[in-house]
Structure 1
């Protein structure tokens, strides 16, 4: 019932992303536009993919007008959602850490070159499709602020009633995991029960996290930071086990 999720172990990196809001909002807008177009409906209640994209944008405090503008862009004059394609890149970072990357790009040659260059400079290598994907599984994650939340035992009952899979204790937050298709339904049930939900999104979790040294973790996260600087890269996942020691070292930077 306890562990360290992507949310808990990347607080320092999320803060850095928040500091670069123009770039972050650009990525989120692209994601929303494509989700609206591919889902075929501008209404999040009728478009599950769009609902997930909007929820993620809200978790980063993206203004409502920017969210709506991104949705409108998918169906309005000059809509360019079709210009983007979804591409997954897979590879190995320092010390063989598995890296799984999701991109939305209008130029696959440019994006591939940028990703390959980042891996090479980090001492890793880009691999073929399926090389590391089997080491991850798609999961829904709902983050709950402990302040104002029920105690863990009561919250666990609420999560079970809502259809969630597990509850993790991550310092000042709880993280609920769900099946991907159940993310919105579980989130809505928790909100209806008065639970202070901070955010919800789909993630790729490593099936068997690998232990690494603090130095390796820093190298891998530097690679992740470089990859995330690209406007084309939406998400970067790794299979490192981020221990208390590593988290403490990162907090000190």
Structure 2
């Protein structure tokens, strides 16, 4: 019985991992679909598509899945039509939350997001209620946990490439760019030999909202529930909390 129980536990974990992988691939497929729909199916000529494909490959998404998403967007295959939407609201403790989605059924998506907010001490708001608290930025992260890289050298490379600013925090270099210069900075620094542990265009909070540990735990519940929704692509917030809370977020 013990061996049988162990096998069942392994199988259960594998099924959970497969389900999680499937959700990740679905999110990447939607990102690729929208990028190709807006800018064409050639990654060399479409920086947004190139970034979406790179992110998908970093999560080991099969090439067949990537090509299928591009073909759907360019009309080579029949498929669902997705719409890009952003929902805004207030999380626990009055924090600002923005949720980017890709959906083929906005009524379903709105109901699911509203439920997630209400269940975790937040409220879904009107368009524009918190958007002014964020600014779209290119965001590049270099891992320097082994302290091999010199901060001044990396900063000069980033600025020369066109970055706006760089911060050194806890063994990483965080580089910020305008959305328009993101691809240029990324490619220039990669050509100089730098590799990135994260590279994306994201919504950067202009001000942070400090919350208690209790509200921080509620915020973790809200973000987790939102990210588990199939239509949700990104969740942005302006939470400042204890290190343990931020690590989970």
What residue is the counterpart of 1:37 in the other structure? 37
C-alpha distance in 1 between matches for 2:132 and 2:58: 28
What residue is the counterpart of 2:239 in the other structure? 240
The total of aligned residue pairs comes to 233
List per-residue Cα deviations over 1:207-252 (Å, max 9, x = no partner): 011111222122112101101111111111111124535346x49x
What residue is the counterpart of 1:24 in the other structure? 24
Q: Is the 8 A contact 2:36 2:70 kept in 1?
A: yes
CA separation of 1:65/1:169 partners in 2, compared to 1, >3 Å: closer, same or farther? farther
Report which structure shows greater RCO (CA 8 Å, sep ≥6).
1
Q: Does 2:111 correspond to 1:113?
A: yes
What residue is the counterpart of 1:95 in the other structure? 93
SS at match of 1:175: strand
CA separation of 1:168/1:61 partners in 2, compared to 1, >3 Å: closer, same or farther? farther
Superposition TM-score, scaled by structure 1 size: 0.84
CA separation of 1:223/1:177 partners in 2, compared to 1, >3 Å: closer, same or farther? same
What residue is the counterpart of 1:206 in the other structure? 205
Q: Please point out which of 128, 136, 139 is paired with 2:137.
A: 139
Following superposition, the deviation at residue 196 of structure 1 comes to 1.9
CA separation of 1:22/1:170 partners in 2, compared to 1, >3 Å: closer, same or farther? farther
Runs of 5+ in structure 2 lacking a partner?
1-15
- The alignment's C-alpha RMSD in Å is 2.3
List per-residue Cα deviations over 1:115-148 (Å, max 9, x = no partner): 1111111121111110110110001111212258
CA separation of 1:90/1:35 partners in 2, compared to 1, >3 Å: closer, same or farther? same
What residue is the counterpart of 2:61 in the other structure? 62
Q: Is the 8 A contact 2:163 2:177 kept in 1?
A: yes
SS at match of 1:167: strand
Following superposition, the deviation at residue 31 of structure 1 comes to 1.2
C-alpha distance in 2 between matches for 1:242 and 1:172: 20
List per-residue Cα deviations over 1:87-122 (Å, max 9, x = no partner): 111111111111101111000110001011111111
Following superposition, the deviation at residue 149 of structure 1 comes to 5.5
C-alpha distance in 2 between matches for 1:55 and 1:77: 22
> Which structure's CA Rg is the greater one?
2
List per-residue Cα deviations over 1:41-61 (Å, max 9, x = no partner): 111221132123223323434
SS at match of 1:181: coil
Q: Is the 8 A contact 1:18 1:24 kept in 2?
A: no
Runs of 5+ in structure 1 lacking a partner?
1-15
C-alpha distance in 2 between matches for 1:37 and 1:133: 25
